[in-house]
Amino acid sequence: MGQEILDLLVSTFWMILGIAGIFAIYLAISAGCWFVHSLFTRNRAGTGYGSLKTVTFGDESSVVANRIASIAAVVAVFVLWGVATGSNLLPFTLPQPFTGDTQFEYTAVNPAGDTDTGMVFVRVHAFGEEGVEKPEGKDGGDGFAKDDIVVVAERRSKVLRVQNNDEGGKEDGFRVTHVNGQPISSDSPVTYSDATVEMTGKGSLFIKPDTGWTMEALYLPPPEQVWKRFWQLNAEGYQNVGLWENVFWSLIRVVVGFGLGCLFGIPLGFAMGLNSWMRGWFDPIVEFMRPVPPLALIPLVIIWFGIGEQGKISLLFLAALWIMTIAARAGVSGVNISKVHAAYSLGATKRQILSKVILPNSLPEIFTGARVAMGVCWGTVVAAELVAAEKGAGKMIIAASKFQLTDIVIVGIILIGIIGYMIDIMMRQAENFLVPWKGRG
């Protein structure tokens, strides 16, 4: 227990360093962009009322998102991505792993004490490339040490017993002493421009082509690979399910679950806002369920409903229900009592007060709740699909991750983000259209 806590603290410490490092890089880029930007705008006076303000620091209204900064930030993310993954879209990236042909010379000593040199021709090919031809090498050579040929994938390494084809190579006392003229042993490897050559305990050579600094596509593929994968998914789908079919299934679940949540949550919230008994009756369950994250319900939902649609929709229903209930309840409680009094004085009946005053008056709150609920539902559906689904955005990325198809995972994550963002924008537009009086009462 104590050890675990200690480990936790240690890894937290490293995380702080790591996060601070990443922030520092990103902020340094930001500072650079800002500097360049300020060179261009230095002599241009701002326009509009805001530019005449002398107090801007601390005046929230004078802080407006600088759109150039936003664009630069997004570009910076892509550039960093490209640099770190060795994208071929960029003129400069971190040093990439070595690929292509290289060769080195080894020196061997035979039991008789004679020395001779042989060449090793190495062909390093891209990871995953198949049917790579062997490089050409002069086989033979003039002495007892014969040339060798080896094929290895980038970032991978290979053990090679160069002495196997040498004359007398299998006799005791035959050993390799130098690589490229430098002495080699099991604890002193030789590095040259393209690769590192190590020696194993048994005297074999261990060839490691230079791995460079870029990330391997298995961890993070370069942008162009993700882009290509996107178009491929768009055309062919993955595991017999189209990309948009997956997205469609996620969306339809959200829409149905959210719809059910509204259908029951809004009337429930109204009942709680209008009636003491109902408020008392539902208060405990609402207050209890509110802090339970929907994800915590996934196991229970799977036990109850299996992995079919019903389970996922029930989950989304539960995710939306409490949010909508609370929003509707807040909407009713938030009605200015003088509006209700005015309506009664104008002769409205209870039913008319409900439909003409309380309902429209609570729409802004309901919309705020709906936006939150939509966001939660979208997150929940993806998580639920990760656990159990046959189709859906979450299902696609979890299936791809099992085959280490990181590019599909990233396509999925980007799509999930974009769709979530678009849902929020749509909700905001609907809000502006349907409750134009929001915030202006």
Residues of this chain that interact with another protein (CB under 8 A) are 336, 338-339, 341-349, 352, 356-357, 360-361, 363, 435-437, 440-441
Q: How far is the CB of 248 from another protein (least distance, A)?
A: 35
Annotate 163-183 with DSSP letters as a single string.
Answer: GGGSTTTTSTT-EEEEETTEE
CA–CA separation, 178 vs 117, rounded Å? Answer: 9
Q: With H, G, I as helix, E, B as strand and everything else as coil, classify residue 403.
A: coil
Helix axes 223-236, 67-85, angle to 10 degrees: 90
Closest CA to 170 of 110, 119, 112, 114: 110
Cβ proximity to another protein: between 119 and 435 the closer is 435
Quick one: angle between helices 298-305 and 309-333, nearest 10?
Answer: 130
Question: Judged by CB, which is closer to another protein: 131, or 347?
Answer: 347
CB 353 to another protein: min, Å? 9
| Strand locations in 5-54 (E) | none
**Hey, is 383 helix, strand or coil?**
helix
HSE (CB half, 13 Å, CA atoms) of 337? 0
Which residue lies nearer to another protein by CB, 291 or 441? 441
251 vs 363, beta carbon nearer another protein:
363
CB of 307 to another protein, least distance (A): 44
Give the DSSP H or E segment for 320.
helix 309-333
User: CB 365 → another protein: shortest distance, Å?
Assistant: 13
Minimal distance in Å, beta carbon 366 to another protein? Answer: 13
Which residue number, 56 or 336, has a Cβ lying nearer to another protein?
336
Q: What is the Cα–Cα distance from 192 to 7, expressed in whole angstroms? A: 38
Residues 6+ apart with CB under 8 A from 17: none
Closer residue to another protein in complex, CB, 52/346: 346
Provide the angle, in degrees to the nearest 10, between the axes of the packed helices 223-236 and 406-434. Answer: 80
Report in angstroms how near the CB of residue 14 gets to another protein at its nearest: 54
Q: What angle do CA 129, 131, 132 make, to 5 degrees?
A: 75
Q: Which residue has the tokens 């039991």?
A: 111
CB of 436 to another protein, least distance (A): 7
Which is closer to another protein, CB of 76 or CB of 343?
343
Least distance in Å: CB of 341 to another protein? 6
Pick 387 or 435: Cβ nearer another protein: 435
Q: Which is nearer to another protein, 145 or 266 (CB)?
A: 266
How is residue 408 written in tokens? Answer: 């599909």
Nearest-angstrom CA–CA distance, 99 and 87:
15
**CA–CA distance, 265 with 326 (Å, rounded to integer):** 8
Shortest spacing between CB 274 and another protein, in angstroms: 17
